[in-house]
């Protein structure tokens, strides 16, 4: 049994990863600060679902609720540490009390559009927070990690599919720039301190527990409630939508590769090598819900890239990454989860929410 630290482990991707690692028989240390990007109760539900625990909440306030959550889920194979990755003392308390074999660093301020509104917050959390994690690893002798990057680092380049060898120094959003900065920091710590690294460029992840601010979740909810959908641009922008189960397969494969090899610094795309237009996404949601959308057309949003499209050959070569879910199947699973979760939103059904 290995002990893995997952930062951002209460979030969408993080909770699925924690669930998988637990099923594989490992101990998981989940670090999350339950920030205000969306309702903290959603993350409580994520953790209860990922750990298989049942708990009833009266919701007496975030601090009391998180203490109750820790009491409900902490045990031999799982520990929830409510901590901010920017705070070295909080990370030291975790790393100093655990024998961590590897870190999977997913914690970040997410989203292109919010990063334009508050770029300094994104720099603080994503860049300083990542360096603080790296410093905690260095000081406590942890020499293996994975770090979440993003397809947004590719910007608006026209060459497709996007390859890890492409130039990525022309970001068009603060979020993308912070992710590129994290890749550079990771190389610095690999070079200076021998921290073996795999950087994972995620491509538009969707599926059960998806954050409520992301397109598929928003579109399903709005159409289900009979509200008009807001489309920015002409609907021709394209995304490489990647089902969360395939992403977790990729993370687990990357983790095994980093643990089995020495002197590793790699960047890999985790996508599907297929793209879907925004308008086709809307039509797919309409077909899944059996409803017709009313669309409100708006101008393009600053910072949004025109397309994402992953060349996944490097990940396949290194650790056999081979996504299995087609978009229709993944969307169907998401809608089934959405309909079965509390209030028809992102609150998981295990908790009494």
State the catalytic residue, choosing from 40, 78, 122, 175. 175
Long-range (24+ apart) CB contacts under 8 A made by 17-24 are 17/104, 17/106, 17/248, 17/251, 17/252, 18/47, 18/50, 18/51, 18/78, 19/49, 19/50, 19/51, 20/248, 20/252, 21/252, 22/50, 22/51, 22/52, 22/77, 22/78, 24/252
Q: Given the structure tokens 């998180």, which residue do they identify?
A: 66
Classify 227 as helix, strand or coil: coil
Q: How far apart are CA 143 and CA 196, in angstroms?
A: 6
Beta strands 102-105; 196-202: pairing state: unpaired
Q: How far apart are CA 46 and CA 71, in angstroms?
A: 16
Strands (E), 170-288: 196-202, 205-206, 229-232, 238-239, 242-243, 265-270, 276-277
Q: Known catalytic residue: 175? A: yes
DSSP tag of 60: -
Q: How far apart are CA 34 and CA 216, in angstroms?
A: 22
Strands (E), the chain: 3-7, 27-32, 78-82, 102-105, 144-150, 196-202, 205-206, 229-232, 238-239, 242-243, 265-270, 276-277, 295-298
Q: Which residues are catalytic?
A: 175
């Amino acid at each position: 049994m290995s002990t893995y630290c997952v930062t951002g482990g209460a979030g969408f991707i993080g909770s699925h990863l924690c669930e998988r690692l637990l099923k594989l028989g490992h101990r998981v240390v989940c670090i999350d600060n339950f920030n205000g990007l969306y309702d903290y109760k959603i993350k409580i539900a994520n953790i209860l679902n990922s750990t298989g625990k049942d708990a009833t909440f009266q919701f007496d306030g975030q601090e009391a609720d998180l203490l109750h959550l820790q009491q409900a889920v902490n045990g031999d194979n799982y520990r929830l540490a409510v901590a901010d990755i920017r705070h070295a003392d909080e990370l030291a308390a975790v790393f100093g009390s655990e024998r961590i074999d590897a870190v999977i660093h997913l914690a970040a301020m997410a989203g292109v559009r919010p990063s334009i509104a508050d770029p300094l917050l994104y720099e603080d959390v994503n860049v300083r927070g990542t360096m603080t994690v790296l410093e905690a690893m260095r000081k406590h002798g942890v020499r293996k990690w994975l770090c979440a990057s993003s397809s947004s680092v590719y910007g608006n380049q026209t060459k497709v599919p996007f390859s890890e060898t492409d130039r990525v120094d022309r970001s068009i959003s603060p979020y993308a720039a912070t992710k590129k900065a994290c890749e550079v920091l990771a190389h610095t710590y690999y070079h200076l301190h021998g921290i073996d690294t795999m950087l994972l460029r995620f491509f538009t992840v969707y599926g059960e527990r998806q954050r409520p601010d992301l397109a598929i979740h928003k579109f399903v909810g709005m159409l289900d409630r009979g509200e008009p959908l807001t489309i920015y641009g002409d609907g021709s922008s394209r995304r490489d939508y990647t089902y969360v189960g395939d992403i977790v397969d990729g993370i687990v494969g990357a983790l095994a590769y980093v643990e089995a090899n020495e002197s590793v610094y790699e960047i890999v795309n985790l996508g599907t090598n297929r793209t879907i237009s925004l308008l086709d996404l809307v039509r797919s949601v309409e077909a899944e819900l059996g409803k017709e959308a009313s669309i409100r057309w708006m101008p393009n949003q600053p910072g949004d890239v025109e397309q994402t499209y992953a060349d996944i050959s490097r990940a396949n070569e290194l650790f056999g990454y081979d996504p299995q879910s087609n978009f229709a199947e993944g969307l169907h699973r998401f809608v089934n989860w959405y309909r079965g979760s509390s209030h028809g939103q992102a609150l998981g059904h295990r908790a009494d929410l």
